[in-house]
Amino acid sequence: MLSRRHPQLNRHGELIHLLTIEGLPREVVHHILDTAGTFLSVNDRDVKKVPLLRGKSVFNLFFENSTRTRTTFEIAAKRLSADVINLDIARSSTAKGESLLDTIANLSAMHADMFVVRHGESGAPFLIAQHCAPHVHVVNAGDGRHAHPTQGLLDMYTIRHYKKDFTGLTVAVVGDIVHSRVARSDIHALSILGVPEIRAVGPKTLVPGDLREMGVRVCHDMAEGIRDADVVIMLRLQNERMSGAMLPSAGEFFKSYGLTPQKLELARPDCIVMHPGPINRGVEIDSAVADGAHSVILPQVTFGIAVRMAVMSIIAGNEA
Amino acid sequence: MKILISNGRIVDPASGRDERGDVAIAAGRIVALGRVPGDFQPGRVIDAAGHVVAPGLVDLATRLREPGHEHEGMLESELNAAAAGGVTSLVCLPDTDPPLDEPGLVEMLKFRARKLSLARVFPLGALTRGLAGEALTEMAELTEAGCVGFSQAEVAVADTQVLLRALQYAATYRYTVWLRPQDGALGKGVAASGALATRLGLSGVPVAAETIALHRIFELVRATGAPVHLCRISSAEGVELVRGAKAQGLPVTADVSINSLHLTDVDIGFFNSAMRVTPPLRGQRDRDALRAALADGTLDALVSDHTPVTPDAKHLPFGEAEPGASGLELLLGLTLRWGEELKLPLVRSLARVTSDPVRVLGDALGSLASSAGRLVEGGVADLCVFDPAARAPLRGQQLRSQGKSTPFDFEYTGFELPGRVRATLVAGTVAYEAR
């Protein structure tokens, strides 16, 4: 039944995988954020471990290279007392011609309990969730341009931490929206949590008008985009898009859309600046902003571990 | 053998005939239609009470995977699928391995197909050698070998100069060029541009990929006078351009696939790769325009776009999955479903898969042009007998085609397909009979 029930929910409507934020009930999002809050204190303890996933095996399957996200998942799983196996698939089995589902079948035979998956193709974690053994849980750690739900959730945790209430906020997402799985997950999460004004800001090559269908206000002018914003989320500009048919140069992009202290003055005085990292200083964000008083980029990383602990412990507690 | 099909509802779109009667067949031809002389001595009687007796279906877009998959016996399985679907004549595309760009390959395909005595096979030859879009093929030789037209299948000709020359050359001999209007560069995405593709993060194919290609083709047709058949129109804007070109008297015809006629991009759901087809599924507005255009004749024919794809090639992330779906066994049911939804009489809906595709093929059919796709005394006995009232859920696994992937699997659509083929006759011989 591919089409009837959402593949990340069981028949009681409980979360058994985390594949996307789209369609999650608001209470589920808040439950994840609340649970993350209880884990934050674990991270401050001398013994940074809780036994919730003791005896469970978490496989990090990264079909696309990533150091940062993989590391935070690894830390989160270890703090839940799970055994963590990192597989750098980009350089192993698929290079030998093994199909994605064969890889999954083999790893399932090694009694994996959870797969944390990053893949270059949109939708790959859905395919895995639909074909793995029923007891196995899947966490999407980024698929193509589609979704990066744990990043979206940690961004919501960060916003809630600093702003408390979502229902009066103006949030601007700036940069390469069209290729960004982070932007999509953020936009879905902000909509679910009731943010009244979500803006997508960038040139027409990176912010196409179709995005309006996701409920955002499309702004091609940076000043219009960040004026009176409570939250500015800057996206990373991938190297391969800095010059070519999408953009003429990183320099011209920075001039129009790079976040500088001067531009930031248009936002609300208590505005926070976020970035999923790794940042390109001088391309999408000026160092003075990245390191400045409005920046919450490093707290995002800290919250990210707690949010990933919350997601893994919640889905592991629900049965298919 | 002499066969009598008795007491059926004879539906012949070409003549508009829709009445109860008998059909007598002898020596591969229809010898009597309606009232059969008392002295006809059949060796076999097919009781068609409650059934429709119609011309065999003519499908203008199929892939038989031969040459390339001889060892898997795909020609036989796919022609059996055709017979089970009531299809008695089919046009196959040249994107085989190697492509159909040499007369020897075409002769071998025709020979092997004839030996199977199932559906009649009409190959399209490659328009350019290796479908590379650079050098022309020997079109006259290929026609002699049995090609009914020339096509690039899914491969766009990037060089407009080459396309112009190809159309000029084809026009010299009055050969029809079959083109799928899609700009090569704009057509690289995996789903139709729009809200769904944006939301799922899938690369998009904009409507402009189709409309730009159509404008280019129309200008070249205007310049060369070459007859062109436009394959698998997918958008409302494309339909409007075809309508305009026809109104101006350009020598063009067009078809639409069963996929685009019944599905939209929303059916992709959670990355269901069974819905990965080319052209990509578009929106509700496009689907409505295609349905209306097929009814009013702007689109001449409905095609199965039969493309058998193995499970391994579909069990991949959406963007990596091979595009295509099996369709030969669904063409009749989906024609009937469209006709029912638009409340068309049976003679009108069936025309789009019988007499109209034969009109598109025209003189390329040779002596068959006057009797394929229709019921006429003295004409070839290519027939399809089906129960129009039967309804059944479709399961991909039950298809005779080696490609079991179909977006119309009951699991995805939840709807039952009307029509059950009882018997298919090709040249007066039973090619398929339901148990």
Given CB atoms, is B341 within the 8 Å cutoff of chain A? no
The 10s digit of each residue's pLDDT in B173-190 is 999 999 999 999 999 999
Q: Is pLDDT of A4 > 70?
A: no
Q: How high is the mean pLDDT of chain B?
A: 97
Decide: A174 and A284 in contact? Cβ < 8 Å.
yes
Which residue is catalytic, options B286, B305, B356, B382?
B305
Report CA dihedral (A24, A27, A33, A38) to the nearest 10 degrees: -140
Question: Would you state the pLDDT for residue B236?
Answer: 98
What is the tens place of the pLDDT at every residue in B78-98? 999 999 999 999 999 999 999
Residue B315, chain A, CB below 8 Å: the answer is yes
pTM confidence score: 0.95
A98 vs A164 pLDDT, higher one: A164
Question: At what angle are helices A100-109 and A124-131 packed, to 10 degrees?
Answer: 50
Active site residue B382: no
Residue B67 has pLDDT above 60, yes or no: yes
Per-residue 3-state assignment (H helix, E strand, C coil) for A182-241: HHHHHHHHHHHCCCCEEEEECCCCCCCHHHHHHCCEEECCHHHHHCCCCEEEECCCCHHH
Each residue of B99-141: pLDDT tens digit? 999 999 999 999 999 999 999 999 999 999 999 999 999 999 9
Residues of A with Cβ-Cβ distance to B273 under 8 angstroms: 127
Query: Using CA atoms, how far apart are residues B306 and A220, in angstroms rounded to an integer?
Result: 44
pLDDT of B191 over the 70 cut: yes
Running DSSP on this structure, what letter comes out for residue B408?
T
pLDDT value for A13: 87
**Position B322: which residue type?**
E
Cβ contacts of B316 on chain A, cutoff 8 Å: 99-100, 127
What digits encode the pLDDT tens for the residues B334-393? Answer: 999 999 999 999 999 999 999 999 999 999 999 999 999 999 999 999 999 999 999 999
Edge to edge, what strands does the sheet with B87-92 contain? B57-62, B87-92, B120-123
Q: Which chain A residues are Cβ-neighbours of B320 within 8 angstroms?
A: 121
Kindly tell me if the per-residue pLDDT of A3 is higher than 50: no
Q: Is the pLDDT score of A1 beyond 60?
A: no
Any chain B CB within 8 A of the CB of A131?
A: yes
Owner of token pair 């899947």:
A138
- Please give the pLDDT value at position B4: 98
User: Going by C-beta distance under 8 Å and a sequence separation of 6 or more, which residues neighbour residue B422?
Assistant: B46, B48, B51, B385, B386, B387, B433, B434
Mean pLDDT within A21-40: 95
Nearest-Cα residue of chain A relative to residue B412: A3
Chain A within 8 Å of B40 (Cβ-Cβ)?
no
Q: What is the predicted pLDDT for the residue at A89?
A: 77
Mean pLDDT score across all residues of chain A: 93
Beta-strand relationship, A83-87 and A57-62: parallel
pLDDT at B374: 97
Tens of pLDDT, residues B234-265:
999 999 999 999 999 999 999 999 999 999 99
Burial class (CB in 10 A: 0-12, 13-18, 19+), A109: exposed
pLDDT of residue A42: 80
Q: Is A145 an interface residue toward B (CB < 8 Å)?
A: yes
Q: Band of the pLDDT at A91, cuts 50, 70, 90?
A: low
Search chain A and give the residue with CA nearest B311: A101
What does the pLDDT look like over B249-308, one tens digit per residue? Answer: 999 999 999 999 999 999 999 999 999 999 999 999 999 999 999 999 999 999 999 999
- Residue A205: pLDDT band by 50, 70, 90 thresholds? very high
B60 vs chain A: nearest CA distance in angstroms? Answer: 31
Q: Which pLDDT does position A210 carry in this prediction?
A: 86
pLDDT, one tens digit per residue, over A231-274 is 999 999 988 777 788 999 999 999 999 999 999 999 999 999 99
Question: Residue B127 phi/psi, 5° resolution?
Answer: -75, -35
In the DSSP assignment, the letter for residue A82 is: -
pLDDT in tens, A35-70: 999 999 887 888 788 999 999 999 999 998 888 899
DSSP single-letter state for residue B227: -
pLDDT, tens digit (0-9, with 9 covering 90-100), for B199-208? 999 999 999 9
Measured distance CA(A267)–CA(A273) in Å, rounded: 10
